[in-house]
Each structure stands twice: as structure tokens, then as C-alpha cells.
Amino acid sequence: MYKVLFTSDYEIHGSGMGSPRELVVEPTTRMLDQFDRHGARLTIMADIGEILKFKEYAEQTGNDRFFFHDIRRQLERAVTTGHDVQLHVHSSYFNATWDEAGGYWKQDFREYDLASLGYDRLKEMIGLGKRFLEDTLRPRKPDYECYAFRAANWSMHPSPNIVRALVESGIRIDTSVWKYGRYDDLVRFDYTGAHSDLVPWPVAEADVCRRDPDGKIFEFPIYTEEKPIWTFLTANRVYRVIAQRLNPLPTPEGMVDPMSGGGGAPKDRSGPFGKAKRVVSKLVRRHPWKMDFNQCTGRQLIDGLLRVERRYGHPDQPLPFVLIGHSKTFTRHNERSLRPFLEYVQDRPDRFSFGTFGDFEPERYRTDVGRAA
């Protein structure tokens, strides 16, 4: 049995720009409505850095300009209707200030790379986030618990501080790693050697990619495949790239786009031939593609799920097929293209179902299960 686990990072643009109503609340309402029609379940990964700032702004000014109350109501709706809310932390927002002239949240770039922060600071941020979610949601769902986590920009390297801070804060599942992923920019990580692209593992404190049978938290990786660029080129991806170009990240050194892709290649200064060569090599080279339900078509998601089924078969315990998405890229077009995937899973309950992290017993992955064929 494969449990399809939709996770959606719930946040505005990385630049600190954009309306939370348009980028977060409205698309997530459509997402929840669509999922409800198919019995699918959404796990909202709520960026607590932003939400706490929106709350603070409303409290200090009496003006709920960032729709904090709509956000709170939406999170409540999710946990009381079979969906879930878990923790996402963009650390650069904890010291952020609202820049009225520029119309954006001015983030603290010294705290941008989450995993590079000190243990005490990490524990403070994770603790604040977990407490906020539990205090907010328990009045509506008494057994609600925050126990799963995704790092800002998937930043889990270096691992010792963050893994220890998660463990000490009572987090039991991390879902930041995507095999083959690599960044060497404002955040730095290399997940090439991750234990699995699919099967959860108990995490070694020294390196989240490594399996330690005594590990205290479990990694549920975002399912990722390594393929040439054209395999996953879709209208949704082009839309996302355009959206990012229009909303670059302001930094002291100028505007950069840290999410533009893989290994942070050096600037090309080799003229038109060099450029053409670089384009060709980019097309042929294999890239890691996260299973992103806002960027892949429904058909691509179906094919990905079937490849997984062929490779891993049907072991005794259910395997998670973790998909990532972002409310800010959930367009109407995307809503239409996702539908065939929802129907496909819904119509094959003997092999596939929808789930949240609460449907898994992580301890069952302490012994290595589900080897790929």
C-alpha cells in the first residue's frame, strides 16, 4: 500500500512580498475544497516565522493587514476536517520588519540558513512554532499535536544542531530531504547520498542523510527522481520560474534567486558558443525533480507513482509517497491538471490511498524495509 501524502508549504514569496490572502489563504481554500471532493488529505506546512509576524503586526497596530485571522481559521478548518497542519520554519522572519516604503518584509539574512544557526536559537524557534500551532489548534482539536517538520529552503546541513533541536523539542518526523538535491548558495546542502528517495529512515544526528538504527527522528523524504530537464518541463514550472524572476530575493549583495535550481553553477562568461554549449548540457544533464504537485501534471504524478510501485513492490508496511507543493503556485490551471491524479488514486484503493503523517508508525521503519528493485 502506498499512501500519497500531499504537503504544501504555506508561505508568501521568498522575497517577503505578496499578499497572504492571494498567495496563501485563497489558493489553500481551493486546495482543501478540491481535496475534499476526492477524499484526499492535505498536510499544511505552516511557516511559523511569517505567521508569527502577521500576528504581531495585527496585535501591535490593530490592523489585520496580513490576514492572520483568516490564516488561523484556515488552519482550524484543516485539522477539524481530516487534513493536517505541521511545522515549517523560515528563520529569516523571526527578526523581520515590515518595510512600508518597499512593501515587503525585510528579512534578517544572517538567519537565513536555518541549519547553520546555533542549537539554542534553533530550539527557541522550533519551540515557539510548535507551541503556537498546538495552542492555536488544540481548542478545536484536543488531540492535535505538532510533531513533523520541514526546514526553510530544505536546509538540514550541517545536521547536528538542527537534529538535536528537533529531537529535544519533541519533533519525531522531518520531511526536508529530497534525494539528489544540492544547493551551494545562501543555503548549503548536499542530499546526493540520502539513504532513500522514498523509504523513511531513522536519522543520524551527524548527518540527516544517514541512517542510524538508534536515531530519534525519522526522515520522510520528499520523493525525487533524477532525470533530464525536458522530462518534467510543464506550463506550471514555467509559471513558477516567471513568478520567481518577478519576485527575486533582496540581499545586501543585490537580487538573487536561490531557488533557481541545482548546484549553483558559476556565471558563464564564455560568449555565445559557451552559452549554447551550456544550454545543451543543461538539457542533457540529469536534474533532481521533486514530486511537486503544483508543477508536475497529474499524468506525470501518476507515472511517478507507478514507477515507485514497480521499484518497491508492496512491502508489509505502507510506504509514503511524499509530494511537495506551495499554495503560492497553485493556479486554476494547476487545479485542472491535478485532477486526473486525484481520481487515479481514489479509484485504486487496493493499492493506493491518501494519508497524513499521523497514518504512519515511524518505528516500523527502524529496521530497513522496502529496498528498491
The footprint of Zn ion (CB under 5 A) covers: 9, 11
Give min distance, CB of 363 to Zn ion, in A.
28
For Zn ion, give the closer residue by CB, 9 or 84: 9
C-alpha 126: how far from its chain's center?
16
What's the rounded Cα separation, in Å, for the pair 340 and 40?
A: 13
> CA 161 to CA 281: how far, in whole Å?
37
Written as one string, the DSSP assignment of 328-345 is GG--HHHHHHHHHHHHHH
Nearer to Zn ion, 86 or 353 (CB): 86
Q: Using alpha carbons, list the distances in angstroms from residue 328 to 23, 31, 373.
A: 4, 11, 36
Contact assessment for residue 230 and residue 160, using Cβ atoms and an 8 Å cutoff: no
CB 64 within 8 A of CB 18: no
Nearer to Zn ion, 22 or 368 (CB): 22
Question: What is the Cα–Cα distance from 197 to 223, expressed in whole angstroms?
Answer: 6
Q: What are phi and psi of 97, to 5 degrees?
A: -130, 150
CB of residue 47 vs Zn ion: minimum separation in angstroms?
Answer: 6
Nearer to Zn ion, 50 or 219 (CB): 50
CB of 183 to Zn ion, least distance (A): 13
CB of 292 vs Zn ion, minimal distance in Å: 13
Q: Choose between 9 and 225: whose C-beta lies nearer to Zn ion.
A: 9
Q: Which residues neighbour 176 within 8 Å (Cβ) at sequence distance 6 or greater? A: 149, 150, 151, 154, 155, 156, 208, 219, 222
For Zn ion, which residue has the nearest CB? 9
CB of 88 to Zn ion, least distance (A): 6
From the CB of 164, what's the least distance to Zn ion, in Å?
22
- Nearer CB in complex with Zn ion: 93/341: 93
